[in-house]
Structure 1
């Protein structure tokens, strides 16, 4: 059988240089970045028009925003919407302030979770527009407090609380009034578990806080009212009525619990505030002391489903009453 001799002296196969130069890679990346930056600039220009132009057609808002979202990667579009790139505020801020409801509802579809900076900007927008509905819709309550309560409610299978704000008519020169209706679900169970229950709402261009809690030193229960760090100082007169669900002992009527707050103090913004000095005429919060009824199994102020209903009537007084 014939054999085939291996020719060791034959020339090796030609080699091919398949390496790509770093300059070539950088060039392609630069072109891609340039295209994206052009898209980003065009998208931002359209968003600016949507949130600022009075004559922008409502019917065209959703299609244009969807086109903008398609022009950029999802993460970049979400980041663009949450960046303060329009007059030092986010696009969502201007959608709230300028009452572009359709745009706001479309924008949030492309944001899985608000950044802390964006949430802070939206809280400012809700104060500027006095927009409690958007505040509740976007779940803009304090992140630290709200996230813990949200987690607890999820574990308990507890629905959202209901908070409704109604502005009142001017009672007299220099004062005004508003009303807040609260429905706290699973009130006792949440309070017993977390030792506090706190909510925020928007009224009169401020973010207000209502908190039920326990003094850990004395064991006394309390409810207190305050305002957020970015709110302006205010002199409030408030009455909190907690609805009764059972007859009072020896009575044939259900008597609500009236908690009165009559004060001449100025309520200061919460947290650290450099613009105000605390003193005898100022306070960071207004508190009402409660008895131990939040722990009572048969308290009159919680219904059979564990719901507590309350009504806050707030009258805003002049910060500096007239003299003489």
Structure 2
């Protein structure tokens, strides 16, 4: 009887909980407050999250400093216009990668850009240095801070990769992105996070990067200029609102980012990898199932040609150079796995 009663109670609780998610046509909702813009393009709103991405040494953290400085002063820094509403003007900055010495340098840049003194910590900024903590502890401390800091409006997580043991784990990636969605929805905050791009192409790293692309309000890409390594450009990799004109910044003599006036953005083609959006996940699966239908293991010497043939059969014709970039892309996304000198299909890939 007790077991039957528990089943009944469980069913009642389940029936009750689903109603919390009901949406009615008579419901009224206000547009989420915009907290970050570039020109007339909306980059971030309360209740959502965004991201910055780029290769190593592309000056992603310098770019983040400008965003935080704009939020501290509710003004424009570089091309970022911030407007945190009253009651939502606290900022939490989380660094998972750097030592406390280097974290303080980041903090100093933020305050200098904002025009604040360096001998007094601003009341509306909390800075956490989490490099020395275990992966689960980092996530726990971030969550505690998000729910304990009153009037919180903006959260920066510089190094979301360090919240997961394996960025290619579908389960871990989904759990982290779910956390971002829960935190932003329940606390009505905006979270901006940072993730590296793959070395071999312009795609965000691992399953975690794929999930970010799919769920983020905006993904900014920071790219080092090929001809002047002191200049980095900012473009929209993905954006829900209208796109903005790319802009660039350089590091001045004071070690601070400043705008490059009249910058002419140039799309790099020499190192351009296979584009994430060129082929859908379903089409990749169709082509790869065809490729590995005759043999579960394929050597590199025949892989490129087979890639060309299998993708051509689904309507995507690639030259040999593009097919080689496709092979790198498939490895980075763990759609194909290397075993010794052979490659095999991973049917459990997550696109």
TM-score (norm 1): 0.28
Higher RCO structure (Cα 8 Å, ≥6 apart): 2
Larger radius of gyration: 1
